[in-house]
Structure formats: C-alpha cells, structure tokens
Structure 1
Amino acid sequence: MTLKRTTIPRPIGSAAGILAVSLLLYSVVGALWGLLRPAHTGTLREEGRVAIDVTMVSVEFVSFASFVIATGLLAVIVSLGVYITSPATRGPGMLWWLILVAAVSAFSFLTVGTVTSGLLHAAADLGSLSEGDRVSIVPALSPGIGWLAAPFMGALAYWCCALVTPDTEAEPLPIQ
C-alpha cells in the first residue's frame, strides 16, 4: 500500500499565506497603536473617585480616527502587495478574500491594541493607591462604522489596480 501525497492547490496556499501575513502585520501594528494610544489622566480623590484633567484633545476621537486610518492604510498595503506579487490569483475571488481578511485583521488589530494599552495603563489595586496619586485610564473603543474602513479601502485599492492594469495579451490589430 502506497500513501498518496496530496498537495495544497496554489490559490488556497496563497490565500492562507495572505491571511497569516495580514494577521501578523495587523497584530504588530495594533500593539504599537495600543502603546501610543492616548489616555485620560487624573488624580485619585476620596472614595475612589478620579478627577480627570481637562484637555483640549478628545481621547476617544483620536483613538477612533487612528484606528480607522491605521487599519485602512494596512488594508491598502496588503491589497496592493497581493495584486503586485501574485498575478496568478487576480480576480473577484481574491477581491472578496481580501475584504474578509481585512475585516478579520482589523479585529485582531483592535484586540491586540486593547490588550497592549490595558497593560500599559493597568489600574493598580485601589487599596494600594492613596488620595492624590496620578492615574491614567484608556477608554474602551467601539469602532462602529470604523469596522468598515479596512475592508472598503483594501477592496478599493485592489479594484483600482485591476482597472488600471493593462491586459497582458494585446488584441490583434485589424488588417487594413
């Protein structure tokens, strides 16, 4: 009895590689985003209350805008990279795959970033803090419509490349 060796079809292998690279890229950049994410700072008052310092910057808006911009730009980079490096897989199937990959990767970006910012701005045990201590708090981010930025920008970049790329086979010229 001989064992039959099976090979993974090239399009499936390419799709799995794209997913792996995208998740890794988004996770690394998400960790950096979590470290750079702004936080509310304040002073601990009596009974565990925190007096938040007044700032001119909206911490929530900066977090949302940076999430949308970062995930959107990463989706464009991944889509352009796939289009340029893998001409054999070009087509509507890859476009839909990149939309799904961008959505899943944006989730990993937010998850890793939230964990990283939580570790950086970890709330100490309230029993160990005393009145007058400085604390920083990172508000939770709920992207809402921002979830659509990465899939949309990635699909738009891929689609635009498909529109402007000339056919590899030139049409025959009519005989005159």
Structure 2
Amino acid sequence: MTEPAGHGAAVPAGPHEEPFEGPWLLEPVPKVVVKADLLPAVSTASLIALLGIPLGWLWSLLAPAQAGVLLADGTLASMPLASYHAFDALALFLLLGFTAGVLVAAVLWMSRRRRGPVLLLAGVVGAALSGWLAMTLGASFAAAAHPVPPTAAPGDLIQEAPAIGTAWALLAQPFGLTLGYGLCASWNGLDDLGRRGA
C-alpha cells in the first residue's frame, strides 16, 4: 500500500495516466501594473497626439479640391462631377489615420517593459487627439492652400478647399491602433506579454 502524497507533491501516475499537478504548483497570473506605467503613458499619449500635425498637413496636400461656381451671395455651388472629390477626401483621411494607427501600435509594442492595457489606453487617447488635431489643422492647411480669389465674380469657377464631412473619421486612427496592438497581444500569448523577460 502506497503512502498518500504530501501537500504540494505530484500524485503518482498510473501506466496510462499523466501526472497530476495541483493548482498550488501553477505560477501566479501577473497583475496589471498601473502606477509605474502611468507617467510613461501620459508622455506616450502626448507624443502620439502631436502626430496629428504632420497627418493634417499631408492630407491637405493629397486631398483633391472641389470645383464650384461662385454664386451672387458668395457661396459656392459644387459641380456635379466634382462632388465625388468629397468622398475622395474622406477616404484619404480614413486611410491615413488607419495606417498611422497600425504603425503606432507596432512602435508601442516594441516597448516591451511597458506592454499592457495602460499603454494601450494611452495610445487610444493619443490617437483620438491626433485624429482631432489632423482634422482641424488639415482643414486650415487646405483652406490656406485653396483661397478664394479676391477678384472673383459671380459665375466664376473656383477651386474649393477639401473638407471632411463627418466627425466619425476621428475613429480611424484609434481603431487601427487598437487592432494592431490587439493582434500583437494575441500573437504573443503570454500572461505578462513578455514584460518579465525585458
């Protein structure tokens, strides 16, 4: 008759059984680090937000202008075919924002010592601010690049500055960042995302 296994010991396995290890032998799940990552997260969000300046400038260069006819009241009436450029400007802004979000996610993932939900949340906040800055400054840059001529008369053909027709475009960059960071985390598969090996 065999003696019972002591506390913490593995139970002897039979001829066709795998050895059973109790839950006391498993490694504890690492907890989320918040306090140590808080200051780097604020710095990360601020740095990502500044990315909106070059994004807005690049969009203002690439987005096509819309041809319109100057009316007597000073407003512009868009030409029938030129109205398609409104979609082009929006699609270009979404593409730039999504691409920037994915690239920023790859850069954040390389910061191995700070991996985790705190850095992800900081990245999402910074990406949202970056999108708002890109939309605001991009419209200003585009308006400066396509001013209405002071000598324009009613009936003249005017190149109208491109515009982003919806505020939902702000979600492109945070979505790209979340998707990229989430794919990296799911591919990693470690409970601490590799922080302890840094």
TM-score, scaled to structure 1: 0.75
CA 1:83–1:138 in 2, change beyond 3 Å: closer, same or farther?
same
Q: Which has the higher helix share?
A: 1
Equivalent position SS for 2:159:
strand
> Is residue 2:125 matched to residue 1:100?
yes
Q: What residue number does 1:66 align with?
A: 92
Question: 2: distance between equivalents of 1:62 and 1:117?
Answer: 14
- The aligned residue for residue 134 of structure 2 is 109
What secondary structure does 1:122 align onto? Answer: coil
Counterparts of 2:171 and 2:132 in 1: how far apart (Å)? 11
Structure 1 distance, partners of 2:56, 2:73, is 35
**Which of 32, 35, 47 does residue 61 from structure 2 map onto?**
35
- Aligned pair 1:121/2:146, yes or no? yes
Residues 70-81 of structure 1: matches in 2 within 5 Å?
70-81=96-107
Structure 1: which 5+ residue stretches go unaligned?
1-8, 171-176
Alignment partner, residue 45 of structure 2:
19
* 1-structure distance, mates of 2:165, 2:72: 30
Mark the structure with the bigger radius of gyration: 2
Structure 1 residues 49 and 64, CA gap change in structure 2 (3 angstroms): closer
Kindly tell me the number of residue pairs found equivalent between the two proteins.
Answer: 159
RMSD over equivalenced CA pairs, Å: 2.7
Instruction: Report if aligned partners of 2:45, 2:125 keep a CA contact under 8 Å in 1.
Output: no
Asked if the contact 1:121/1:136 (under 8 Å) is kept, the reply is yes
State the alpha-carbon separation in 1 of the partners of residues 131 and 73 from structure 2: 38
Indicate the percent of aligned positions where both proteins have the same amino acid. 26
Deviation at 1:23, TM superposition (A): 2.7
Q: Distance in 2 between matches of 1:49 and 1:107?
A: 26
Q: One-letter code of the match for 1:93?
A: V
TM-superposed CA distance for 1:142, in Å, is 2.9
Partners of 1:107 and 1:158 in 2: CA distance: 21
Q: Is the 8 A contact 1:26 1:74 kept in 2?
A: no
Deviation at 1:89, TM superposition (A): 1.0
Q: Is contact 2:64–2:89 with CA below 8 Å preserved after alignment?
A: yes
Bigger RCO of structures 1 and 2 (CA < 8 A, at least 6 apart): 1
Shift of 1:28: 0.8
Distance 2:76 2:138 in 1: 24
The structural deviation recorded for 1:43 is: 4.8
Q: Which runs of 5+ in 2 are unaligned?
A: 1-34
Q: 1:55 to 1:112 in 2, by over 3 A?
A: same
